[in-house]
A and B are shown apart, each in its own frame.
Chain A
Amino acid sequence: MSITLSEAESRRVVAGYGVPVSPFVTGTSTDAVVAALVADDTVTYPVVAKLCGRAIAHKTERGLVRLHIADEAMLRSACNDLLAAAQPSDGDVEVLVSTMVDGNRELIAGLADDPQFGLTVMVGIGGILAEAIRDVAFRLVPIAEADAAEMIDDLATQRLLGEFRGEPEVDRQALIDALVALANVGQQETGVRSVDLNPLIIVDGKPVAVDALLEIEDAAGGEAKQ
């Protein structure tokens, strides 16, 4: 058995290893969220607000994501709405507010447990067509910088990594660092089953995860993976 941490919990874990995530704050009440945002000068408007909890799997489908929040008044209103939408079955919830980042290119990165080789790290071309295109590269955790560089080289869609629609080329070193950090999450964190950084948006050439989900073994569940 495994459990999936909330987006906020997942972001804290992966960011602790140096995985780049969009700047964010959290709070369990509207006042707490606003206070956290005021105190944190990395999170800047416009922001996105999401209701997070371990039991909330499909935030978008349930309307628990609010985009393009331009000021504090809109933020207060969004927080009030989101907290009011929480249901008893959602368990503990909190509101996550992060800077809305902008970029035309979406990658996807993550960790997955392979039945033959154990924990693997992946980078690929993201977006809604990701599963149709399947332009991905895997390695076994852990990886060295040379491995991460070769993963990036292995992607077929190299043109997407160069200058693209007025945006600079992807900073390969930043992407290498992100992949090594991601693999380190799998190597050093206890009981990691999977991580999704989806999407990993290219912002001014640098990768930034705007969503993160970390699945870990449920130690209390008792049933260990084989």
Chain B
Amino acid sequence: MSHDLSALFDPKGVIITGVSNHPGKFGFVTLHNLLAAGYEGAIFPVGREHGEALGRPVLGSIDEVPEGAAEMVFICTPQSVNEGLLRQAAAKGVTAAFFAAAGYREAGPEGVEAEERLVALADELGIAVAGPNGQGVVSTPSKLCAQIVAPYAPAGRIAVASQSGNFVSSFLNLAHHTGVGVSRAVAAGNAAVLGIADYVEWFADDPETDVCLVYMESVDDGRSMFERLRAVAERKPVVVVKGGASDAGARAAASHTGALASDDAVFDGMCRQAGIIRARDVEEGFEAAATIATQPLPTGNRVVVVTTVGGWGVAAVDAMSETRLIATPLPDDLFAAIDEKLPPRWSKNNPIDMAGGETRDTVPEILELAAAHPEVDAVLFLGLGIQSNTAALMREGGFYPDHGLERIVGFHERQDTRYAEAAAEIAGRTGTPVLVATELANARPDNAGPTAVRAGGRMCHASAGRAIRSLELMNRYSSWRRARGL
């Protein structure tokens, strides 16, 4: 069963229930967040009485909303009144609802009954209901920030669905930090009606989305979820972070095979079979999704590492030893071409350690040679921003701008900017992913290198190892596709 969720993510107008002028209340916060993010559709705040909030008139009832003016209702009123509100909204032409309201299944037997009634009512009214007990929904194509929490997020191609509202916020915070943005984000809450698979199926058809990023804890109907996510993975990559390692317990272990099973081992196998990219934690999941959203997929496991700094090259190769990626021996023609560009002290090997021998154009040229070579599936560039970091000290050291410092600082910063832009441009042109990693992405995000990577909308990894993990996860997905003729 596939739901049309366009009214949830791209509503023509939004009704918010439970709005007062108290800035601590969810209705107010949601109104604030919608306005702050620049939502351009009509907004209808509804409260217990007429009034004003954030300069907007608050309606006393949904009955006052013009017919057909709103497609989505955001519910943050007490559970006991919400069924009536949903009926009123439906009568006005609303076809999607986000229930931030609590007091449902999480709240004991009475709440369970209320949730069952809500499910039946959603079915009766034909309304797509998200939540209840969720934080909200974000959709950058509509500048929609309908949530009771922060943040909004930069626009991008990642769509998030999470069984934890808090991890929606975590992913959006990481989107801010890296500059790699999201298309949609939704907290499933209690998932009374719409569950993870429903959202991800909609994302699969969504032209604004290139990759799905999911956080899940519980699996209700495992077999159906497997089939549905596999069908999505055949079309778009799906990254999953799974929380809750404890065993379901009901496992019969009379057999040896059963004794070797665990929830985690079976879930892992299910992911591999479905083509789901399983990440170990929130950071790894976001970084994998961000890399997939902004790089071509590798078509094999042969990696060339290009570095201005020997140690990071070693670290990259070490990280590869735990993956199926290999630091491929340099093909003869590539070796010869590189050898022409570098002084004799270069490493003569992969990683290509330029050993400080680079001149103005060397880095873009080497990246280009490696990425364009048919026997290279991915390139990792390390050492971005080192010169700009030296430049930063020169700026701050008390002698700037005299003694020629202004000129050299400008040169270093332009060079790092160029390297970052070249990496992006070459990846786009050759179809080979060119990842960039430097700890300066975290340590000095204002550095010209990471700044330029972010400005290009790409992921600047914070270490060689993390870049390799993202690449490994991408390559697993692309291997899965290739093995199935996709």
Contact = CB atoms under 8 A, between A and B. Distances in A.
A117 B257 contact: no
Interface centre among B267, B272, B480 (most CB of A within 10 A): B272
Nearest to B260: A136
A116 B263 contact: yes
A8 interface: no
Interface stretch (A19-27, A39-47, A145-153): A145-153
Contacts of A108: 256-257, 260
Interface in A123-153: 124, 130-131, 134, 136-140, 143-144, 146-147, 149-151, 153
Nearest to A110: B257
Interface string A96-139: 00000000000011111111111010101000001100101111
A147 B273 contact: yes
Given A118-B223, A140-B223, A140-B226, A213 B255 contact: yes
Contacts of B267: 116-117
Contacts of B260: 108, 112, 122, 124, 130-131, 134, 136
A101 B267 CA distance: 35
Contacts of A139: 269-270, 272-273
B223 A138 contact: no
Interface centre among A110, A138, A195 (most CB of B within 10 A): A138
B1 interface: no
B266 to A, nearest CB: 5
Interface centre among B248, B261, B270, B484 (most CB of A within 10 A): B261
Interface of B, helix, strand, loop or mixed by DSSP: helix
Interface of A, helix, strand, loop or mixed by DSSP: strand
A129 to B, nearest CB: 12
A154 interface: yes
B223 A143 contact: no
Tier of interface size on chain A: 35 or more
B256 A117 contact: no
Tier of interface size on chain B: 20 to 34
B257 A114 contact: no
A112 B255 contact: yes
A198 interface: yes
A149 B483 contact: yes
A110 B324 CA distance: 26
Contacts of A147: 272-273
Given A139-B272, A146-B483, A149-B483, A116 B256 contact: no
24 contacts: A112-B258, A113-B258, A114-B266, A115-B249, A115-B250, A117-B266, A130-B260, A136-B260, A138-B261, A138-B269, A139-B273, A140-B223, A143-B273, A147-B273, A150-B272, A150-B273, A194-B254, A194-B255, A194-B257, A196-B255, A196-B257, A198-B256, A213-B255, A215-B254
Given A117-B270, A118-B223, A140-B273, 11 more contacts: A108-B256, A110-B255, A116-B267, A117-B267, A124-B260, A131-B260, A137-B269, A144-B484, A150-B272, A194-B257, A195-B257
